[in-house]
Chain A
């Protein structure tokens, strides 16, 4: 078995263990919350008999490890149970909401890659000039210091009161009208992407500045290579691994940020579904939403890590040492 293949299989195994750990934390952390589903549904005045009957009905009287086993076994086959509040299978709800949140996150991620990375490269290359450094710091400062719950309502106000053209709140299905869905999500995705673009630009800038002072770049300059030749053949490739790592972190941030943006813009996505479920201690909903987010995060990070081994062969050889 080649070294790279062994390294990839190890990463996949680590991914499985991480997901197992995440599922345990999600399940048991929810049970640590005070109250419980029965209290939320029946209210504070319900009798002990009523509580027991409700717990029996939903299997909440079983030992925790039995409940976990039932849930984990179902989750592996795609059965996330039934929402205790709406009585609708959680999977059906997720299938409806996933395209919305996925499109939202992908649009923000695309902005981070398509705007943040080039901006960071340009400011990194111009870092010796004052304009480059100042521009980089300004963009990063603005992006990092304005949170979504401030920017979101501000954008919403400006657009709804001062402008027209973006139909916030009128969402189409991805399969029926993908352009309509993307159009409706432009503003929320813009709000979600704002800090991501800033963080990506700032980090990319720092990475590029770090690569520019590496001896092999000096060697390329000493060989008389043209600046854009050096950028294309040496700087971009050597900057790629930290940027890929950053994109993995940003994915986690996007999944968290989506919760706020979906709430602010009233978007029926996974984030708002999870927040609603959490407020009602709807175990199946919260468990499925968080596990889905964790799976996405772990899968995307593993994919980025595997991609990094193809960009920089030292990554996999470090892992093998």
Chain B
């Protein structure tokens, strides 16, 4: 099978457990998922459904109190966890994160180092990737995310820019690394309504331009329907429905997915009336 036809993400029967007071809490209860290269996949579900745990598991980024107890997860050709329980070595995971996967976090301002000027942390991050960038190249990367006067922004600290601009900077840093897979976990949750759509269109445009597969974790079903090609609905650590967005998010078959879509439609309708 050629690299192009192989799925970029393959998850089989993945179980993840968090240490909890008096036992364990199951976050993923046997997740199966395939993602093809170039796809834009939206993962939706309630809080606690396992969306973020799944996204983190793809990069081997689960916190210390969480373990993958069974199943297989492979991202961009790296086996994060094999069926026999073997996990990727720390240096393999670092290479995966450095060269193939990029994450965009929920809170853009918090994901930038508060003590370092934006230009400097951009340069340090790129140097750490083994792809040093000149100030002009950084300006170009910032311009690509529609930041005006990038030379001035480079000299600012994260607390001196707006949430929307911080998120655009985080997107620029993620995309400048030319990853194969971009995982955005609620990338607009901390932003004002006005800039959400702008940031989302930016992510989608850059992913398309640079041939990056996009996984987008979100509560925002209308936005997922608008920007993604395929959707996955999660509930209680399981994938309950997956398929093209026009089917899964319009006429879902699974009762939970139907309930979720209807509830969010009703919420959106009430919001519009307000």
Contact = CB atoms under 8 A, between A and B. Distances in A.
A312 B61 contact: no
B128 interface: yes
B99 A224 contact: yes
Interface string A215-237: 11011111111100100011001
Interface in B84-133: 93-99, 101-103, 105, 107, 110-116, 124-125, 128-129
Contacts of B112: 216, 219
Contact of A219 (B96, B103, B116, B124): B103
A312 B107 CA distance: 20
Interface string B47-74: 0000000000001010010000000000
Contacts of B107: 215
Nearest to B93: A224
A222 B110 contact: no
The winner among A224, A225, A314 for most chain B CB atoms within 10 A is: A224
Contacts, number: 80
Nearest to A233: B124
A240 B114 CA distance: 12
B157 A219 contact: no
Nearest to B99: A224
Nearest to B59: A222
Interface in A175-220: 214-216, 218-220
Contacts of B125: 220, 223, 225
A218 B112 CA distance: 10
Interface in A240-271: 240
Interface residues on A, range: 20 to 34
B159 interface: yes
Contacts of B160: 317
B219 interface: no
Nearest to A215: B110
Contacts of B111: 215-216, 218-219
A312 B102 CA distance: 27
Contacts of B105: 215, 218-219, 222
25 contacts: A214-B110, A215-B105, A216-B114, A218-B61, A219-B103, A221-B97, A223-B98, A223-B173, A224-B93, A224-B96, A224-B129, A225-B98, A226-B94, A226-B128, A229-B128, A233-B113, A233-B124, A237-B113, A238-B115, A240-B115, A312-B114, A312-B115, A313-B115, A314-B157, A317-B159
Given A222-B103, A311-B115, 17 more contacts: A215-B105, A215-B107, A215-B110, A215-B111, A218-B61, A219-B103, A219-B105, A220-B125, A221-B97, A222-B105, A223-B102, A223-B129, A225-B94, A225-B125, A225-B128, A237-B115, A313-B157
Interface of A: 128, 214-216, 218-226, 229, 233-234, 237-238, 240, 311-314, 317
